[in-house]
């Protein structure tokens, strides 16, 4: 407790960010420390799981100390410890889980297991203090592309999901083949601003009528086929146009499906989250299509879109309020579903 407020610490190590956040009464951010490993993995063109877990182990104690200093408190003030236990890379998740268990045991405070995807949704609770369920959630990240009906804090029902690649994964793969490098999402977004989104007519994949599922692997193949044809004909690849046309084909489908789902389920608000929520074209399209349908679209600032510890702390707080605590046998669940 600090000044009569419940303090929750959230630990996130599911992929390549070692992150620790501290929130007061669930929704006020006191500290948000993120140690990114992007520089290390860039040399390999993607995240190397073994390197990620070793790096989490090396950084975690320091990141916790920095978060406590930023929040101007000590471990004695922390009331609840939350941690991402899945989905993610097993070795990476285990570092966070083991650390959280140690803190819970040493300080005798409740341990709360958080589903990473619920964490992404909770990022919007931090960005919009008045936000309450129900609403439609659009979670678009490197590992997931989901349309969900958020019925309660940390309770949701999946309406649509990707059947193959996640949106962020498709961005990362396409960025690699057009020579933009890793991490692909922000680089494609930037290149697309200089390109013509109508330059190449990549086919939009809507799947069967009425489905809110996604499929992006065929689009990735379309990009590869286009590149091969152009290279064989000796033509130079218009990188910015490819980026803009590919991005449009992904975002048009995501925005259309999200707005259609909101209309069907009677939601007047769509809360977008996950790393891909930082995409400028997705924001434009959702604002435009949502506006035409009388639906408000919200998203957190970029630092809350990508992986962070405060979203985990916020989700942990709501689990704890509901009495949903873990015991110290908690294990990482890499394939955890929503
Ligand atoms: O949520 P996140 O940090 O990690 C996962 O849980 O996966 O999302 C990372 C993903 C990466 O695939 C990255 O390329 C993508 O989000 N991303 C973007 C943008 N910024 C990050 N994708 C498109 N446009 C962006 N501006
Ligand atoms: Zn994530």
What DSSP element (H or E) covers 84? strand 80-86
What per-residue confidence (pLDDT) applies to 182? 83
Residue of 276, 302, 336 with the most ligand 1 atoms within 8 Å of its CB, for mutation:
276
CB contact at 8 A, 121 and 106 = no
Half-sphere exposure in the Cβ direction for 8 (13 Å, CA): 29
- What 3-state class would DSSP assign to 234? coil
Closest-approaching ligand to the CA atom of 299: 1
Q: In 10 A of CB 170, how many CB atoms?
A: 29
22-39 pLDDT tens trace: 999 999 999 999 998 888
84-128 pLDDT tens trace: 999 999 999 999 999 999 999 999 999 999 999 999 999 999 999
Quick one: which atom of ligand 1 is closest to the CA of 247? 23
Residue of 304, 306, 334, 338 with the most ligand 1 atoms within 8 Å of its CB, for mutation:
306
- The number of angstroms, rounded, from the C-alpha of 43 to the middle of its chain's C-alpha atoms is 23
Q: What six digits make up the tokens of 300?
A: 């957190």
Tell me the mean pLDDT in the region 228-238.
97
φ, ψ for residue 297, nearest 5 deg: -120, 130
Q: Which residue's entry shows tokens 């989700």?
A: 315
Of 28, 218, 212, 29, which Cα lies nearest the Cα of 138? 212
pLDDT band at 138 (very low <50, low <70, confident <90, very high): very high
> What's the pTM value of the predicted model, to 2 decimals?
0.93
Q: Which domains does the chain have, with CATH numbers?
A: 7-124+305-321 (3.30.420.40), 133-302 (3.30.420.40)
Quick one: which atom of ligand 1 is closest to the CA of 190? 26
Q: What is the largest CA-CA distance in the chain?
A: 70
Is ligand 1 within 6 A of the CB of residue 171? yes
Q: What six digits make up the tokens of 71?
A: 């929040």
Q: Is the pLDDT at 264 greater than 90, yes or no?
A: yes
CA of 189 to the centre of ligand 2 (A): 18
């Amino acid at each position: 407790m600090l000044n009569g407020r419940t303090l929750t610490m959230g630990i996130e190590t599911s992929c390549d960010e070692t992150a620790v956040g501290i929130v007061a009464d669930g929704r006020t951010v006191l500290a948000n420390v993120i140690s990114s490993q992007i520089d290390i993995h860039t040399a390999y063109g993607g995240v190397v799981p073994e390197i990620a877990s070793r790096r989490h182990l090396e950084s975690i104690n320091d990141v916790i100390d920095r978060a406590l200093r930023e929040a101007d408190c000590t471990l004695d003030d922390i009331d609840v410890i939350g941690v991402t236990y899945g989905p993610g890379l097993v070795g990476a998740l285990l570092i966070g889980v083991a650390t959280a268990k140690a803190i819970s045991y040493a300080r005798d405070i409740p341990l709360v297991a958080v589903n990473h995807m619920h964490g992404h949704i909770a990022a919007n609770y931090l960005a919009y203090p008045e936000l309450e369920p129900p609403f439609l959630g659009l979670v678009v990240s490197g590992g997931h592309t989901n349309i969900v009906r958020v019925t309660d804090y940390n309770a949701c029902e999946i309406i649509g999901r990707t059947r193959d690649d996640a949106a962020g994964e498709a961005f990362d793969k396409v960025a690699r083949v057009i020579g933009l490098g890793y991490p692909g999402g922000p680089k494609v977004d930037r290149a697309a601003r200089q390109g013509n989104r109508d330059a190449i007519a990549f086919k939009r994949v809507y799947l069967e009528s009425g489905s809110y599922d996604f499929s992006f692997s065929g689009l990735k193949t379309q990009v590869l086929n286009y590149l091969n044809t152009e290279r064989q004909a000796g033509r130079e690849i218009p990188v910015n146009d490819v980026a803009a046309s590919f991005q449009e084909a992904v975002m048009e489908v995501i925005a259309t499906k999200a707005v259609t789902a909101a209309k069907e389920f009677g939601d007047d608000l769509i809360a977008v989250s996950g790393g891909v929520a930082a995409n400028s074209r997705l924001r434009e399209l959702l604002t435009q299509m949502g506006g035409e349908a009388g639906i408000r679209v919200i998203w957190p600032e970029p630092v809350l879109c990508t992986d962070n510890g405060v979203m985990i702390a916020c989700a942990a707080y709501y689990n704890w309020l509901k009495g949903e605590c873990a015991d110290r046998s908690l294990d990482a669940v890499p394939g955890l579903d929503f």
